[in-house]
Chains A and B, each alone.
Chain A
Amino acid sequence: MAFEPKELQKEIKYEEIRIYSDAELNNYTEEELKNFKIKHDIPDLDDLEKGPWPSFVADAKQGALHRRKLADDRMLIDRDVIEDMLGQLQISFDEGETHWKHGGIVGVFGYGGGVIGRYSDLPEKYPSIAHFHTVRVAQPSSKFYDSNFLRTVCDLWEYRGSGLMNLHGSTGDLVLLGTTTEQLEPIFFELTHEMQVDIGGSGSNLRTPECCIGKARCEWSCYDTQDLCYELTQYYQDELHRPAFPYKFKFKFDGCPNGCVASIARSDMSFIGTWRDDIRIDQEAVKAYIAGEVVPNGGAHKGRDWGKFDIQKEVLDLCPTKCMWMEDGELKIDNAECTRCMHCISVMPKALRPGTDTGVTILCGAKAPILEGAQMATLIVPFMKAEPPYDNIKEFIEKVWEWWMEEGKNRERLGELIQRATLPKFLEVLELPAMPQYVKEPRSNPYILWKEEDVPGGWSRDIKDYRARHKR
């Protein structure tokens, strides 16, 4: 099925709107780079370049030299911005303390997110980074770019910003690092009007939703991740740009349980493609794998000789629920026991495929903070159809938001609220019955809390009477 854009897309032609000529973009020689010293002494940063890995310091030096050699009127913020950034970083290494201040009222008109104010607390020493704001640019679904788009963003950022960027942030955005307050509105105008791209989310709002490559290129995708991601992004524009949540909220969309965007670990609401019928088996292809006629794992590990493919050792024995076996030369699966681990499908993609009655599993409450408190998501909806216009999914999302916005404390993520209020409470709010899928294993699940009306005959309990007999 060919891609059809939902609205008219402007074709970006870099050659027509480029800011810099090739000569300006390649304005220094290897020799000059080798002898280049920035204006500050940065011994520890120089040291970082010596390791085996590519270094951001080397990249930053290239940017600094490039800016040194550009004409004055070819950039709108200070020439020394990268050099000062490196200089301040060295001071931070020396002192073991950061000199960045963050937060403020910078932003573009009407938006509460997408721009993060950043300032140096040593503005006299490093004047060009006194203002060094970050702009988050929403990535296209699955990060489908073409070089026209990327080159145009790079030109824009060299002209109106520092030229430093970070692709991609954890939420998938293009992170443009370092510009001044005056440049924000012009950057926003050019991104939205010339390039048809929005700025992403930051602060207490819906963050830029992110999806895997989905049906665009992956045969395992159980729903159209890009379509759902785009639809919810458009539908919840207000939540994305006008923050009124207790804290951040992230959606991520994985097309199958392989989870290429790791939604289960990183998003407050994770959508993972699944199926509720049987895994499709092509018995002839199974035989071909066993006979060694087809390379396993889609050829992913073929760089080394791993010996003959052993279906028992490499597939059947590794099934977490042991629901597969060979019988009279045929592969059998007890589908009711399958936990959708995707291992067998990933090893033998020609022989096994997800079922055809597909939809999403919804999990809630993951977070991945930098310092502490990482938490995996909890299964909430084992299966839901995911077809346009996705009203069932929107209804679910809004029930969750309503409760979280009502009950959540300031800076409390959904996962923390579920833990504080208990899972049964969350299920009650969502009007969902407790399901066997919530139980990880018998007798070890902490989520059972009885209410008096649930128990025939109820109970009465006098806490004072109890305490009279049981000391604390």
Chain B
Amino acid sequence: MEELKKAIIEFAESSKKTKFYFKDIEKAVQKVNPDAKMREIKKACTALINDGTMIYFSTGSSTMYGLKGRGMTEDPE
């Protein structure tokens, strides 16, 4: 779990984007950790949300993830 969390944060910090679809996080994590299962990655994301490292961004129809405080404000762009 800790490994996955680290991989997610590394990916999110290194990307130029500030919001990510879950699928893009999944792909990036599987690049460094090919055995990581989708459900485990989802659980890691949820843990990051729960500890406040990451936040959801929702348009209402689709949802994305981002690092708290990094290019994500309360107001939409």
Chain A residues within 8 Å of B, Cβ to Cβ: 101-107, 110, 112-113, 115-117, 119, 134, 181, 202-205, 238, 242-248, 405-406, 408-411
B3 beta carbon closer than 8 Å to chain A: no
Q: A204-B22, A248-B61, A410-B62 are in contact. List 16 more A-B contacts (CB 8 A).
A: A103-B57, A104-B74, A105-B72, A112-B58, A116-B58, A202-B60, A203-B60, A203-B62, A242-B46, A242-B49, A244-B22, A244-B45, A246-B22, A247-B61, A248-B62, A408-B23
| Whole-angstrom CA separation of A106 from B72 in the bound complex | 11
Return 9 A-B CB contacts under 8 Å, by A number: A104-B57, A107-B58, A110-B50, A112-B56, A134-B60, A246-B21, A247-B62, A410-B62, A411-B62
Whether B63 contacts A113 by the Cβ 8 Å rule is yes
SS class of chain A's interface: helix, strand, loop or mixed? loop
Whether A119 contacts B75 by the Cβ 8 Å rule is yes
Could you tell me the distance in whole angstroms from the C-beta of B19 to the nearest C-beta in chain A?
10
Could you tell me the distance in whole angstroms from the C-beta of A103 to the nearest C-beta in chain B?
4
Chain B residues within 8 Å of A, Cβ to Cβ: 21-24, 38, 42, 45-46, 49-50, 55-63, 66, 72-76
Whether A112 contacts B38 by the Cβ 8 Å rule is no
Residue of A nearest to B55 (CB): A105
Contacts of A246 in B (CB 8 A): 21-23
| Whole-angstrom CA separation of A181 from B59 in the bound complex | 15
Could you tell me the distance in whole angstroms from the C-beta of A409 to the nearest C-beta in chain B?
8
Choose among A104, A107, A112 the residue that contacts B76 (Cβ–Cβ < 8 A). Answer: A104
Whether A103 contacts B46 by the Cβ 8 Å rule is no
A203-B56, A203-B62, A204-B62 known; A101-B21 Cβ under 8 A:
no
Could you tell me the distance in whole angstroms from the C-beta of A267 to the nearest C-beta in chain B?
16
Residue of B nearest to A103 (CB): B59
Whether A105 contacts B56 by the Cβ 8 Å rule is yes
Whether B60 contacts A103 by the Cβ 8 Å rule is yes
| Whole-angstrom CA separation of A134 from B59 in the bound complex | 11
Whether B42 contacts A106 by the Cβ 8 Å rule is no
Contacts of A409 in B (CB 8 A): 23
Whether B75 contacts A113 by the Cβ 8 Å rule is no
A101-B76, A119-B75, A203-B58 known; A112-B21 Cβ under 8 A:
no
Contacts of B66 in A (CB 8 A): 105
Residue of B nearest to A203 (CB): B63
Could you tell me the distance in whole angstroms from the C-beta of A378 to the nearest C-beta in chain B?
23
Whether B22 contacts A243 by the Cβ 8 Å rule is yes
| Whole-angstrom CA separation of A102 from B73 in the bound complex | 13
Whether A202 contacts B50 by the Cβ 8 Å rule is no
Residue of B nearest to A115 (CB): B58
Contacts of B46 in A (CB 8 A): 238, 242
Among A134, A204, A244, residue most surrounded by chain B Cβ atoms (within 10 Å): A244
Could you tell me the distance in whole angstroms from the C-beta of B64 to the nearest C-beta in chain A?
8
| Whole-angstrom CA separation of A104 from B60 in the bound complex | 9
Whether B49 contacts A110 by the Cβ 8 Å rule is yes
| Whole-angstrom CA separation of A411 from B61 in the bound complex | 9
| Whole-angstrom CA separation of A39 from B2 in the bound complex | 56
| Whole-angstrom CA separation of A246 from B62 in the bound complex | 8
| Whole-angstrom CA separation of A202 from B58 in the bound complex | 8
Contacts of A119 in B (CB 8 A): 75-76
Whether A102 contacts B60 by the Cβ 8 Å rule is yes
Residue of B nearest to A247 (CB): B62
Contacts of A110 in B (CB 8 A): 49-50
| Whole-angstrom CA separation of A181 from B76 in the bound complex | 13
Whether A112 contacts B63 by the Cβ 8 Å rule is yes
| Whole-angstrom CA separation of A101 from B60 in the bound complex | 11
Could you tell me the distance in whole angstroms from the C-beta of A110 to the nearest C-beta in chain B?
6
Whether A405 contacts B49 by the Cβ 8 Å rule is no
